[in-house]
Chains A and B, each alone.
Chain A
């Protein structure tokens, strides 16, 4: 991410002032230097709030639909993964292309807060800033500076990222990123899981999903979970009860995995949000792999591409018939 906060602010300020956008969704500094919060601007007066740095984890595409009906265009800044979510929303006609102004920000990795604190052995109040330096992060502390290898502290989804540059954008802020050197087999985690026996898989998922407290953070933070009335909130008929026993939890997670099949871009927000550290990416990534193998389909690349689960082709697989 070679663009600085200042460059981004200038870009967005211009967009406001020449009337291109009436609103902007971005990031601002959070409770400490390792946190950011989503920020919503309606003009350039508070442009100084906007930041862009290796801490900007949130997938802002989630908020796009909240601005569907504003009078002007809504601007949004998106990393590679985030812009792929926007592509999915556009494919599903959730929002018109001409209502959105996409500011693409090429990204070479986001810091995982817990990993950084552990690897460096520090507390969050010691951190002043984190800057991108290619293969490493430069961490400015209250009492000096330290460099740390990116591979050690990147978020898990960044370690397998294939799209550091937004595939769809109106304007790009920052230099494009060439292929990330640490990315190897993005499905190694899934293959590990696939190699287990049925009993081992059951034990694994039963153990993990029995910890779920059904806070629905994974659903609510997911940019493609857009149903105005979610099936799990329905009272009549009531598909699952609010009780958090394993049976209800399994139904919730498995159905959600299927509902995002072919739409999930592995932005990793679900796992980041989960307070119980449930390995949700391990589940969603498996579905992603299946979509690739069965339909040769990757979500979020091309707005014109037809989603395989909602379109019919004569040559569709039907080996079960």
Chain B
């Protein structure tokens, strides 16, 4: 069965935790595996999740391989497949293919400070990095997480912020585009907030993910702050089908987002056409 790259394995949904009105974190275990080695993934990779009869879609993995009990995906209800997933319940089965794609270069950035900038559901793949580096705390320097969403109701992983806040030499900076009566935190767009915080580029690597327009402005802001192109890393989204570089759909120039990405440095992005 493993030699057929299009055949999904089955997995069981263990739990579904709503993050916002349209985002839910699915915790799954793979059925035919006897342990974590069977679904050996790295932070930054994605999997193709299926609801058989409806279809398949690429979803980034938001859990960390340092916590192998289950694999997690945070999914927004947007199209046919994601709606079908949201309509399932714990105990239901889904199909899973993968893991696919490249990963964040966590070994290469050991010893560096990390600046993680996320927007909206873009925090999902970043969470894999966050939990991974938290679990390997000693290997990294200062960790700053800047995260924002459209409104307080759109923030994801709010139930984990307290745990994150307890981690040594790291800080979570939150912002929302629009506040409400109860919101006491910062109000403003993520790129603006980033510029106000003015993080130092000294020995720091930045990883960012969010809506394409946010990524664009965050990268510009990071540039202005003095971050070099090799040290700005992002993860891209494209319509995908096969996930293995054959169906020809996800290429940006000569790179396939499913094979050579989805993680790219700004240096690599600059060499690609403006697709």
Contacts and interface: CB of A to CB of B under 8 A. Distances in A.
Interface of A: 235-236
Interface of B: 79-80
A295 B102 CA distance: 63
A131 to B, nearest CB: 45
Contacts of B79: 235-236
A236 B80 CA distance: 7
Smallest CB-CB A-B distances: 4 pairs: A236-B80, A235-B80, A236-B79, A235-B79
A236 B55 CA distance: 12
A229 B79 CA distance: 17
A235 B79 CA distance: 9
4 contacts: A235-B79, A235-B80, A236-B79, A236-B80
A235 B241 CA distance: 14
A235 B78 CA distance: 13
Contacts of B80: 235-236
A292 to B, nearest CB: 42
Nearest to A238: B80
Contacts of A236: 79-80
Contacts of A235: 79-80
A12 B79 CA distance: 49
Nearest to B55: A235
A233 to B, nearest CB: 14
A139 B168 CA distance: 87
A126 B180 CA distance: 77
B76 to A, nearest CB: 16
A236 B79 CA distance: 8
A243 to B, nearest CB: 14
Nearest to A235: B80
A104 B9 CA distance: 63
A255 B79 CA distance: 26
B4 to A, nearest CB: 20
A235 B80 CA distance: 8
Nearest to A237: B80
A52 to B, nearest CB: 38
A304 B79 CA distance: 43
A236 B82 CA distance: 13
A7 to B, nearest CB: 44
A235 B54 CA distance: 11
A236 B81 CA distance: 11
A311 B80 CA distance: 36
A222 B145 CA distance: 54
B263 to A, nearest CB: 28
A200 to B, nearest CB: 38
A187 B160 CA distance: 74
Nearest to A236: B80
A236 B83 CA distance: 12
A235 B83 CA distance: 14
A198 B79 CA distance: 42
A9 to B, nearest CB: 37
A219 B9 CA distance: 39
A235 B55 CA distance: 11
A308 B80 CA distance: 37
B196 to A, nearest CB: 41
B31 to A, nearest CB: 28
A236 B54 CA distance: 11
Nearest to B80: A236
A300 to B, nearest CB: 39
